[in-house]
Structure 1
Amino acid sequence: MSTADVIVIGGGIAGVSAAARIADHARVVVLETEAQPGYHATGRSAAIFIRNYGNATLRALNAASAPFLEDPGEMAEGSLLSPRGEMLIAQDDELDALEEYAAGATGLERLTAAQAVELVPILRPEKIAAAAIERDAQDIDVDRLLQAFARRLKALGGEIVTGAEVQEILYESTAWRVETQAGTWTAPVLINAAGAWADKVAALAGVPPLGLQPMRRSAALLPAPEGYEIAHWPLFASASERWYAKPDAGKLLVSPADEDPVEPHDAWADDMVLAEGLYRYEQAVTVPVTRMEHSWAGLRTFAPDRTPVVGFDPMAEGFFWLAGQGGYGVQTAPAMADLAAALCLRQTPDLPPETVAALAPVRFRTL
């Protein structure tokens, strides 16, 4: 049996980044079921940083994460971001969705249909009732981000244990005991960063679940439209999230933007869902989809109010939630890691009190 100050269950970007921040002041071990960190949602991210993505709490996290992503200092060489842009296009029945997105947004520029087609020449102008672009949206180098935090964690004496599927969790006296296939660890603080499995981990620990719901998000990689140079196209999407497309290493990534409730599992794309989404995408462009080179899916896990959950559970001593990141986990990881570290180390968070309160799990508890 090994001891630590903090056990983190889950080796995605949330768990690894939080562990790296906590390791400055405490002994931390990360327990990951898979053979490598970042296997599930982190490794299947759309890898885009959009400042205006999400509700007010998420936008506050986006803003707080931006400085680190732009300049990670000694943790990584150069920025973790690169230019991309995000353009939303609306048909007549999507105008309200575009206006809702624009409410409270910063740096959003309205476009005519002609201007939208100038940026992405395969779009059908007659299908565009309105458009807007956030030019400051940027690609995220997700692997470099994850590895930067992993290196930091290990340099500070922390540990990432893979192949460590959790089998039993017990609270004994003043510490949590976690038994896994790779060994047993004890610590007074247990961070539940298990992504789609976070409610199941809580149940295993005897902690009431929060109602976290994994949602499948599918994607396909298509050949670049023949005759077009797509490298500098922005991510372009339906304003009501019926589909989105993004240049990716010389190919075009297209997603139906599905959110189908599923049980936690190693996700794969549903052929029918993918076909329906590609059809919706085809209606907006002049180039038909003739073949698909690869497809996959990931799970985006949402709390009932679609806001992440970060904080100690008032019903279980030392049990800390870092879950429900939805589709925002990678781009908000730096800010949520700092918050998790501050709360676990009993320090004052840098985030505004109203943001901290909006993330706290107590909002789901009737005490």
Structure 2
Amino acid sequence: MNAIMRRALTGAMALSLAAPLAACGSEQQDAGAGKDSIGLLLPESKAARYEKFDRRIISSRIASLCLECKLDYHNAEQKVDAQKRQFDALVDKGVKVIILDPVDAAAVKGWVDSAAKKGVKVIAYDRLAEGDVAAYVSYDNEKIGRLQGQGILAALGSQAAASDVVMMNGSPTDPNAPSYKKGAHAVLDGKVRKIIYEKSIPDWSAKAAKKEMTDVINAEGPEGFDAVYSANDGMAGGIAAALKSAGLKNVPLGGQDAELPALQRLVAGTQSFTIYKEVRPEAETAAEIAFRLLRGKSIKSLTSTTADNSSKTGIPATLFKAQIVTRKNMKDTVVRDGTVRTDLLCAGDLAAACKSLDLE
């Protein structure tokens, strides 16, 4: 088959199969370039949401908005140098709009500024990248931290003022982590007796969080703390494992992301709450902003506020609201919205607990 025939066949297939291919594609080596291409760079795959939700929703939304558009997707697997190569490759191809969730928000500044000078529009997604970004789509991260703090206080109840709390904060390279920390402190400081230990966990590592928690238990003793703040559910899993190994039960523990293992811990009673950030509105909004920027259209109606990074002010932004999920409201939040299937949530020895929560 000659090159002309291959191009004709490829064009015909793209028209009939664009939506399903966009919805289920993985890393694409040659997704096209120029006026009909949008880049998507996600930071890692340890958090289930990125591959399971963000990528698929963004792909599907772009396909529904623009039949001829191509999505050039790559995942950096938590490696800054890999993400830089992926970013540079998109720019070299001539991609003019890139949705970027940075591994390290500060490290990308030079890339973003250089790309902007070439007319590339970068949408900071979920994490606010440094540099000359064109738009920002995320959640109000300080408010999420406040929700987490409120969750800890609610779990401690009347004993809060006499309680000592351990804080495991997010990765030092994630620009959202300081906001979560700030919001949590704003609620907890003065409402609990003391924050007895606090540590930022590199790469949001569950393994590192488990080790830190084990060290705290060994240093402070099993009665030396009353609750544990975890910035996300992945780390909460490691912390819960450390608590279990030490024979500790009923220690209030909170997380974030509403991942399946965390929701199962809620059912089992080994995690007190998580924070539910519905991915669909965030991902679909990012996709629509990308499409509008690609076509030179206004994004004003999609960006109701602004954000500032260290080098640019007044970045058009959309910040969504999150909510606390506990055992009591799981049915009316994550289950109702289809974020989790009850057959998976209630698998194995969780069936009886699910029945008591009316989650069957």
TM tier relative to shorter chain: under 0.3
Larger Rg: 2
TM-score, scaled relative to structure 2:
0.25
TM-score, scaled relative to structure 1:
0.24
Structure with a larger share of its residues in strand: 1
Q: Which has the higher contact order (CA 8 A, sep 6+)?
A: 1
